[in-house]
Structure 1
Amino acid sequence: MRINHLLILSAAVASSSGYAQSARAQSITIAEQFTARAGWALESDDSNLLARAGCLEPLTRIDFDGTLQPSLATSWTQTSPTTWEFTLREGVKFQDGQPLTPDAVSNALNNLLKVTTPARAFSPKLIKSVEAIGNNTIRITSHAPTVLLPYNVASPSTGILSPAGYQNGRINPIGTCTGPFIVVRAAPREGMTVKRNENYWGGRAALAGAEIRFIPDGNARAVQARSGEALISVAIPSSALHSLGSGLQIENIDSPRTATLIINNKKPALSDVKIRRAIQAAIDTAGLASVVYAGAAQPAVGPFGPKEPWAPKEAKVVKYDPAYAKELLKQAGIQDGALKLSLLAYNERGEFKDVAAVIQAQLREVGIPVDVRVAEYAALEPRMLSGDFDIALLSRNHLYDIADPFGFLASDYTCAGSYNLSHYCNKDVDAKVAKAGASVDIPDRHSVYADIARRLQDEAVNVFLVHEQAIDAVSKKVANYRPHLHDSYLLTKDVALR
C-alpha cells in the first residue's frame, strides 16, 4: 500500500509562499522502519521515533562514538550509593516557550514512573523517587545501589517534554520537545512532519525540516531509496543492496544487535534444555549469515558480538549438526513430528521472512514441523510478552535501553524483567545482574556479563543467530549523516543538503 504523502511543512512554517518554497527546498524525506504504535507513549519505542526525529531530548545522551555526554543536564554527581543529582542546562526552553526547570523535569520523569507498563530503562522497580531541589538540580534515587543511572537517563524513554505534553494521561509531542526540530504533524500509522526549531539551545539546524515516513516493509524502504523519494532510508535489507544503483551512499556499521530465535522457556516442551539444544543444533547460523544476509552479518557466538569487551573470550559459533539435534530429541522422548511449533516473524526486518523460511526447513529436517506467521511487530509483541507463542524472531540491540549490557540483561533475562520474551527465570542470573549493576569495577562488571552470556548460550535459552550490521541508504545530496550505534539519533541539527 502506498504511504500517503505528508505535508513537507505546515502553513505555520511560513508566512509567505516564497519562504515556504525555500523551506521545502531545504527539507528532506526519510523512510523510517517502525510505525508509532502506542500513542507516542514515552515508555514505548515511540519515544525512539521522537528522538530520531530531532524532537525529544533526555538529560544525558550517548554520542556517536558510544560515550556518555551531557544533554539537558550538564553534570551529575553520585551523592550516595542510591542517589544521583543532575545539574540542568541553563537557558533551555521547550518549543512552546516554557523554561526547562527542575519542576518540569521532575514532572516529566514522574509521569514516566506512573505508567501502566514502565519503560525498561526507567521503571518503579529501579527508581524510588525523582524530586526537584534548588534552582537547577534534580535528585534521582534508586532502590538499589547503581553506578549506571546516568546511562539510564540517556534513554529516549526518559526524554523531557514540557508540562503541556502530559495531558489527561496522553502524550502530545507537537511543540512540547526541546530538540532542534519541532513536530508539526504526527500520524502514528503514516509518519511525522517536522520543522526547524529556530530557538534551539544547541544552535540552528541546517535543514528547514523533514517528512518522516513510517514504512515497515524493508524492500519498500529500499525502493524509496532507489527512486530518490527518500533521501535517507534506514535498515535496508542486505538482499536489496545490489538493486540500489548509483547516487547512493551505503552507511553501515557493526551494530550491537543480534538477530535471535526467541524460545518460550515456559512452554512445557521448550522448558527441556535438550529440546532447546536440539533446536540450536538444527539451525545453520553460518549459512544464514552468508546467504540470507549476503555476508553483511556474522554468525552469532552468543548474545554479544565476539569483539565486545563483555563477550566470553572463548565464545564460538554453535556447530550446525542435524544428526546431533535428532539424537537430543530422541533422548528427550520426542518422536518424529510429535513436537509442532509456531514461529512468529515481523516484516520490519526485511531478512526475517527468509530467515523464517530457512528455520522452518531446517527444523523440519530434524522432525519438528513449524508453522510461520509474518506480521508487523506491533501485532506480535502482545503475544510475545504474554507468552502466547512458541518461538519468534527478534532483532535486539543490547545497548538500546542503556549503553551497558546491564539494561538488556535486567529486562530480558531476569525473572521480573519487563521484556523477558523468553520467559526465562534463574535466581542465580538475577543475583549476577544485580551485582553487576552495583559494581564500580568495569572489568568485574564485564566478567559478570560474560558469565551470563556463557550460560545463556550453553542452556540454549534462545538461539542467537547472527550479529547484524546497521545498513542505511543515503543520497549523495545529504551531508553530515551518520548511523547511530544504538539507533537513538537520525535527524540531527548537522544533517544538511549539499
Structure 2
Amino acid sequence: MKHMPSLLTAALAAALGAASFAAGAVTLKIGNQGDALSMDPHSLNESLQLSVTENVYEPLVTRDRNYKLAPALATSWKQTSPTVWHFELRKGVQFHDGTPFTADDVIFSYERAKADGSDMKTYVGPIKEIKKLNDHAIDIVTNTPFPILPELFTHFDIMSKKWCETNQATRPVDRRKGIENAASFRANGTGPYRLRERQPGVRTTFVRNGNYWGKIEGNVDEVIFNVIGNDATRVAALVSGEVDVMEPVPVQDVDRIKTASTLKVMQGPELRVIFLGMDQKRDELQFSSVKGKNPFKDKRVRQAFYQAIDVEGIKRTVMRGASSPIAQMFPAQVNGHAPDLNKRFAYDPEASKKLLAEAGYPQGFEVTMNCPNDRYVNDAAICQAVAANLARVGVKIKLEAETKGTYFPKILRRDTSFYMLGWTSSTVDAHNVLYAIMSTPGEGGRGQFNLGAYSNPKLDELTEKIGSETDQKKRNDMIHEAIKLHQDDIGHIPLHQQALNWGVKKNIELVQWPDNGMMWRFVTVNPQQ
C-alpha cells in the first residue's frame, strides 16, 4: 500500500490537472468511481447523475442542509383542494444563458419529463395537468389526491423551454436507445453552478454561477469532477492530494484513511437498498439454459434463489461490515418501514436445493446475471459472491459485470433475466418504492424500474390508495400489507442497505445527504492548517 501514489499514471495526472482559472479562486477536485452519463436531467434516474446535474439544474422544491424540504424555484406551495396544489414561482431567476425563468418552463419540463425516453416519469406520474395562472404562478392538478407531491418534486428539474427548442433538445436523451442530443453534453440550468467543460468518462468542469438568485453558502468557485474507476488509484489520488473528495471509499481502505493526519471519512447509512430482480413476465427467459418456460414464474425457484444467498457472508467478507442485511425494499429511515417484517428467509442451501427439485430443476439450470461494476459499493464483488452461492445449489450463473454506461441502457430496456439494482426513496416515503419498483409496469411511470415486471394486482391497488390516503395510521397499515404481499410473493430479493463512505480532506466542510447527494453550494474549503 505504501507505493500506492505511484499508481497515478501520467494519463490520470493529466485528467486531474485543472485548467487555468482566476487567481485566488477556490477549486474543489472530486474523484468518483463513475460518471454522470449525461447532462440531461431527465435522461437517467440515478443518484450519482442527479447529484451532479442538480448543481446545475433545479427543481421547484429542494432540500436544505438537513435534508428537509426547502423552496427552490417555487417560493411557496399549498394544497387548495384535494387534487389541486398552488405553487408560487420565484421571480427574477435567470437560466445560465440569461433567459428569464417562467411558468412556461415548468409546463414544458413537465411535458418533457413524462415523454417517451424520459427516466423521470415517476416524479410527474400523479400529475393530470399544470395550469398557468401567470408567469410566476401555477396550479398543479393531480389525478387523485396526492398529499406528498412536494416531496416528489425534489428531483423534477426545470429546463429552459427556449434553450431546448433552439438546440433541438425538446425530447429527453433516451439512454435505452443510445439517442443523444445537445442536452447530453451541454447544460443550461438555473442552479448555482454552470457547466464549463465536458469530457465524458474522464472529467467535467463546473464554475460558480455569478448570477445565481440565491445564496451559495460555501466558497467553491470551480468544481472538477474526475472519473477514477480503479479503487486503489482513487484512494491514491486522495492520499496524494490530487483530489479533495472521493467516493466511495473502498471498504478495505476506510480505516487507513481514518488514520491519515490530513484526511477523514464521512460515514452514514444510505437510504439505498441493494436487491436482485428476476424476469417474471416472459414465457421463456432470454438468457437461460431453460427453454420453453420461465423458471422465475415459479415462486419456489425465486425462494430457492433467495435462500441460497448468504447475505451475512457477503456482509462479512465482501462488505467488511459496511452493510445491513434487510428483508424489505426500503430501510428504517423511510416512512412505512415495518420492523416486524424485517426478517429474511433463512440462508439454507439444502432447502434451496429441495425447492429447485420440487419446481422441476433437480440439477439446477444456467442463467445470465447482469451487474454493474462501477455503480454501487462492491457491486461486482457482491454479484460474484451471489454467483458462488447459487453454484452450490446447482445454479450456474453466467455473470456479465460491466460499466454502468452500458449496463443501465441494457436493463432499462429489460434485456435481462436476472439483475442487480439499488434504489433510494427520494421522497423518504414507501410510496416511491412501491410505485416505481414494486408495482406492475403501466402508465405514468408506474413500475418504470420494476425491470422484471413482477405483478400483484392487490399491491397495485394498495399503492394507489397509499398515494392518496391522508390518515397516517391507515396509510401505514396499507404499506404494511403491501410489504407483506411482496415478501410472500418474493417479488424481488432484497440484499442489504449500504453505507456511505466519503473520503475528504480535513480542511473541507461539506454536507452528506442520505441519498448520497453532494451539493457543492454547501462546500467550504478552509485554508490548509
The alignment status of 1:486 with 2:488, answered yes or no, reads no
Distance 1:203 1:308 in 2: 30
Give the fraction of aligned pairs with identical amino acids, expressed as a percent: 24
2:310 corresponds to which of 281, 284, 287: 284
Shift of 1:373: 1.4
Shift of 1:171: 4.9
Specify the alignment match of 2:175 in structure 1. Answer: none
Classify 1:442/1:48 alpha carbon distance in 2 versus 1 (closer, same or farther; 3 Å). farther
The alignment status of 1:65 with 2:66, answered yes or no, reads yes
Q: Which runs of structure 2 are paired with 1:290-369 in the superposition (5 Å)? A: 290-306=316-332, 308-314=334-340, 315-337=342-364, 339-348=365-374, 349-369=376-396
Specify the alignment match of 1:229 in structure 2. Answer: 242
1:30–1:212 contact (8 Å) kept in structure 2: yes
Shift of 1:47: 8.8
Distance 2:232 2:422 in 1: 17
Shift of 1:201: 1.8
Distance 2:254 2:353 in 1: 37
2:45–2:119 contact (8 Å) kept in structure 1: no
Specify the alignment match of 1:28 in structure 2. Answer: 28
| SS of the residue 1:22 aligns to | coil
Shift of 1:294: 0.8
Distance 1:405 1:63 in 2: 21
Classify 1:484/1:34 alpha carbon distance in 2 versus 1 (closer, same or farther; 3 Å). same
1:281–1:319 contact (8 Å) kept in structure 2: yes
Specify the alignment match of 2:454 in structure 1. Answer: 424
The alignment status of 1:190 with 2:202, answered yes or no, reads yes
Specify the alignment match of 1:386 in structure 2. Answer: 413
What CA RMSD, in Å, does the superposition of the two structures yield over aligned residues?
2.5
Shift of 1:168: 0.5
The aligned amino acid for 2:524 is: V
Distance 1:307 1:135 in 2: 38
Distance 1:458 1:220 in 2: 44
Classify 1:214/1:452 alpha carbon distance in 2 versus 1 (closer, same or farther; 3 Å). farther
Shift of 1:174: 4.9
1:58–1:160 contact (8 Å) kept in structure 2: no
| SS of the residue 2:494 aligns to | strand
The aligned amino acid for 1:374 is: A
Number of residues of Structure 1 aligned to a counterpart in Structure 2:
482
| SS of the residue 1:168 aligns to | coil
Alpha-carbon deviations, 1:145-189, whole Å to 9, x = none? 31122122211x423446325520245485622222111112332
Specify the alignment match of 1:444 in structure 2. Answer: 474
2:29–2:226 contact (8 Å) kept in structure 1: yes
TM-score by length of 1: 0.89
- Unaligned stretches of 5+ residues in structure 1: 14-19
Q: Which runs of structure 2 are paired with 1:261-280 in the superposition (5 Å)? A: 261-266=276-281, 267=285, 268-280=294-306
1:256 corresponds to which of 268, 271, 281: 271
Specify the alignment match of 2:131 in structure 1. Answer: 131
Shift of 1:357: 1.9
TM-score by length of 2: 0.84
The aligned amino acid for 1:194 is: F
Distance 1:382 1:466 in 2: 24
2:34–2:228 contact (8 Å) kept in structure 1: yes
Specify the alignment match of 2:499 in structure 1. Answer: 469
Shift of 1:46: 7.2
Specify the alignment match of 1:16 in structure 2. Answer: none
Distance 1:165 1:213 in 2: 27
Specify the alignment match of 2:172 in structure 1. Answer: none
2:188 corresponds to which of 151, 176, 181: 176
2:58–2:191 contact (8 Å) kept in structure 1: yes
Distance 1:388 1:51 in 2: 27
Distance 1:390 1:442 in 2: 37
- Unaligned stretches of 5+ residues in structure 2: 1-8, 170-180, 286-293, 442-446
Shift of 1:83: 2.1
Distance 2:333 2:57 in 1: 32
Specify the alignment match of 2:80 in structure 1. Answer: 79
The aligned amino acid for 1:470 is: L
1:120–1:411 contact (8 Å) kept in structure 2: no
Question: Which stretch shifts more, 171-180 or 380-389?
Answer: 171-180
The alignment status of 1:107 with 2:130, answered yes or no, reads no
Shift of 1:282: 0.7
Question: Which stretch shifts more, 316-325 or 348-357?
Answer: 348-357
Shift of 1:350: 4.3
Question: Which stretch shifts more, 403-412 or 278-287?
Answer: 403-412
1:454 corresponds to which of 484, 487, 509: 484
2:432 corresponds to which of 378, 388, 407: 407
Shift of 1:93: 2.3
Classify 1:48/1:158 alpha carbon distance in 2 versus 1 (closer, same or farther; 3 Å). farther
Distance 2:97 2:81 in 1: 36
